[in-house]
Amino acid sequence: MEIFSVLKFELKRHYKSILIFSGLVGGFILIMSSIFEPTLFSEYNDIMSSVPPEFLDLIGGIVDLSIFEGFFNMYIFEFAWMWYGLYIILMVSQDIPGEMENKTIDLVLSKPIKRWEFVFGKQLQHIITIFSAILFSALFTIIAIFVNPNVNANEVHIGGFILSFVCLAILLLAIESTVLLISTTLGRKKATIVGFAIVMGLWFISAYSGSIPIENIEYMSFFTFFDTRTILVDGVFTGALGNILILFAYSVVLSTIAVVYFTKRDIPV
């Protein structure tokens, strides 16, 4: 299938940036993990009791930062979508619109390749980028658990971290599919701005749903289904599979809509 021809071509173009991005996020996690010090955060709960409720809602309530799981969830997972997601948004929003604006898409589509194969080939490269970054991040996290003298590796549930990274990967896939749809309808600059605005808006709805006077509004955002605190801090895994399936189904639906639209749209020559 020509999908894999597109994928092979894209990987040749972008493999260096994929490895650099993966290495950077992995290294960042290793550095952040190294600052974990239980005694430093032992008075965290007392300090947080005086913090405005709006901020507590933003971070999901008070978390015990004197345990590595609580520390990691607060400083890595709570805002991981932002520093992973910004790269994903920029990458996806520049991809297909860039091909169209530079007129290179004319050469690509002049070959025996269908439009849906072109889009899915591009998306596979995005997915590989996401999972490469997550793999590096998970590996560096495991390294941090065993090399940080302040972390008792015997008391850390490695499976909880792995499951949390899987949830993060599926969340990033939902972000990718959202921006992919936007990128098939708008130019490069507009796709970037609109993509970032929509993702930020969805995060805001999920983070501040308690302050919005609309019942169940949080379910309008896919961020609601990203819950690593329950996995890492509470040790409850039962709802994780359901959340993963919902995010995956959302991604499939939006990706399908993006392909159908791109297949039918007029592309100016």
* Residue 140: inside a domain: yes
For residue 105, what pLDDT band results from cuts at 50, 70 and 90? Answer: low
Q: Using the predicted structure, report yes or no on whether residue 146 has a pLDDT greater than 70.
A: yes
Tokens of 224: 């609601």
Per-residue pLDDT tens digits for 12-42 = 888 888 899 999 999 999 888 888 877 766 6
For residue 187, what pLDDT band results from cuts at 50, 70 and 90? Answer: confident
For residue 7, what pLDDT band results from cuts at 50, 70 and 90? Answer: confident
Euclidean distance between the first and the last CA atom of the chain, given in angstroms as a whole number: 26
* Residue 218: inside a domain: yes
pLDDT of residue 130: 94
pLDDT of residue 88: 93
Closest listed residue to residue 162, CA positions, set 135, 133, 144, 143:
135
* Residue 95: inside a domain: yes
pLDDT of residue 111: 66
For residue 167, what pLDDT band results from cuts at 50, 70 and 90? Answer: very high
Q: Are 101 and 267 in contact (CB under 8 A)?
A: no
Say which amino acid occupies 184: T
Q: Using the predicted structure, report yes or no on whether residue 198 has a pLDDT greater than 90.
A: yes
For residue 257, what pLDDT band results from cuts at 50, 70 and 90? Answer: very high
Closest listed residue to residue 84, CA positions, set 183, 3, 203, 194:
203
Give the integer Cα–Cα distance in Å for 188 and 174.
20
Give the integer Cα–Cα distance in Å for 111 and 129.
26
DSSP state of 35: T
Domain that holds residue 241: 2-264
pLDDT of residue 208: 79
Number of domains composing the chain: 1
Global pTM exceeds 0.85: yes
Distance of CA 58 to the CA centre of its chain: 18
Closest listed residue to residue 247, CA positions, set 202, 183, 214:
202
Tokens of 208: 């501040």
* Residue 74: inside a domain: yes
Let me know how many helices (H) and strands (E) the chain has, helices first: 11, 0
Averaged pLDDT score across all residues of the chain:
83
Angle between helices 240-264 and 115-147 (to 10 degrees): 150
DSSP state of 213: S
* Residue 269: inside a domain: no
